[in-house]
A and B are shown apart, each in its own frame.
Chain A
Amino acid sequence: MRRVNKGERTRLRLTLNGRKMSGEAEPRMLLSDFLRHVLGATGTHVGCEHGVCGCCTVLIDGTAVRSCLTLAVQAEGRAVTTIESLADANGKLNALQQAFQNNHALQCGFCTPGILMSFTDFLKRNPHPTEAEVVDVLSGHLCRCTGYTGIVAAVLEAAGQTKPE
């Protein structure tokens, strides 16, 4: 049985984007804060902190979840994947990121890391989604700049459903 007392800082080990990492956290620390403030992976953004806006979405063992609705200690021993993993070592965007750029699917970019991680999971399960299915997954994210048309077009392009104009 794992037990961490109130206020006690404990060392948590997990895999972040394929690398073994560890850091100290007390039980109440959210995974979003652990990634940003302890491990220094600031690509994951924090918006509402109650699971509504979707900015902080990351993958845990390949599954898209809200890192603000996850305690850091719950991710102990798990594989966490964040936005930092998508482009290659030279900074070349992956197909989904490139499609976002092609379709002007971001403006300020605050919500984008979460959206990219959601569709990284979703397109793996459903490589050829319909527009309605894309909209359904996107309903778990809020974008206050562009509206959602470009984002839907980008995801469909990345899935090979439409050709870029």
Chain B
Amino acid sequence: MKPKPFDYVRPDSIDEAVAILAEHGDDARVLAGGQTLLAMLNLRVVEPSVLIDITRIPELGAIREMGGKIEVGAAVTQNALLAWPELAKKLPLLAAALPFVGHFQTRNKGTVCGSIAHADPTSELPLSLAVLEGEVVLRSHKGTRVLPAGEFQQGMLATARESDELITAVRFPVMKGGAAFREVARRHGDFAIVGVAVLAESADSIRLGVAGMADRPAVSRFKPNGAAGIRDAVERLAWELEGYEDVHASARMRRDLLRRIGPVVIEEAIRCAA
């Protein structure tokens, strides 16, 4: 299948990009890595009249540390972040989760921000951003706003981005403590059925993020109380989130996967924190 015809625009600056977005709004689509968007265009699931290629805007290509946060620009690929020398030290959760994002070949082109913009409820990067309580930076011709991850992602493939806004970067707070990640998928590189990301700030403060149980990542905090306490907490969460049924798995299977992998990932993060 081939895409329907569209205008192609490749701005040289953020200002040019947001001016085009202001003009075309919902008729335009932003192209970064295109590892989901090109497939959607080929299958004609989306049919924009204008495609705005932001990959050659120099300001969007950087990974920067600023005030305890790591800012990843909108043109930074997943493999570029994975190869960033500071990643294992400053964002060990992403060092653990990124290898599960697509495949080597798609990570070479797919961007960190693009995955977050797509807001798939089973996706690793939106889950990681939510657990780390990161932020999304949005720019329009009217100005810049910064949204917490929890406000940005609003549902299945739905975000708070306005049609004239460009995601210029996401910011991950530098982590303290231990982290662990695990997911269950039919095959490695497929979309996860259930994914679990845990941040153990200390032995008695846990942030547990779950993907694939609701229309967006679910993050909860609790104090772990021994192995039995952790099992009970995950059990309660599984019933609270319920899960959902689709072509990949039933709601019951999702709850069961969470019960099985949740405690294992939590214990692993606590061990990493110690």
Interface residues of chain A, those whose CB is within 8 Å of chain B, are: 1-7, 26-28, 30, 33, 49-51, 54, 57, 63-66, 68-71, 73-74, 118, 121-122, 136-137, 139-140
Contacts and interface: CB of A to CB of B under 8 A. Distances in A.
A27 B8 contact: yes
B11 A28 contact: no
Report which residue of A26, A28, A54, A136 has the largest number of chain B beta carbons within 10 angstroms of its beta carbon.
Answer: A28
Given A28-B5, A137-B105, 16 more contacts: A1-B11, A3-B10, A5-B7, A26-B5, A28-B3, A30-B42, A50-B39, A64-B104, A64-B105, A69-B39, A69-B106, A71-B38, A121-B108, A122-B104, A136-B188, A140-B103
B4 interface: yes
B78 to A, nearest CB: 12
Interface stretch (B49-57, B66-74, B133-141, B163-171): B49-57
Interface of B: 1-12, 16, 31, 34-35, 38-39, 41-43, 49, 51, 53, 55, 99, 102-106, 108-109, 187-189
25 contacts: A1-B9, A2-B10, A3-B8, A4-B8, A5-B7, A6-B5, A6-B49, A28-B3, A28-B4, A28-B5, A30-B2, A33-B2, A49-B42, A50-B1, A50-B39, A51-B38, A66-B105, A68-B42, A69-B39, A69-B106, A69-B109, A71-B31, A137-B104, A137-B105, A139-B187
Contacts of B104: 64, 118, 122, 136-137, 140
Report which residue of A2, A57, A66, A137 has the largest number of chain B beta carbons within 10 angstroms of its beta carbon.
Answer: A66
Contacts of A1: 9-12, 16
A57 B105 contact: yes
Contacts of A66: 35, 105-106, 109
Contact of B8 (A49, A65, A69, A73): A73
A69 B4 contact: no
A4 B16 CA distance: 15
Given A50-B42, A140-B103, A69 B35 contact: yes
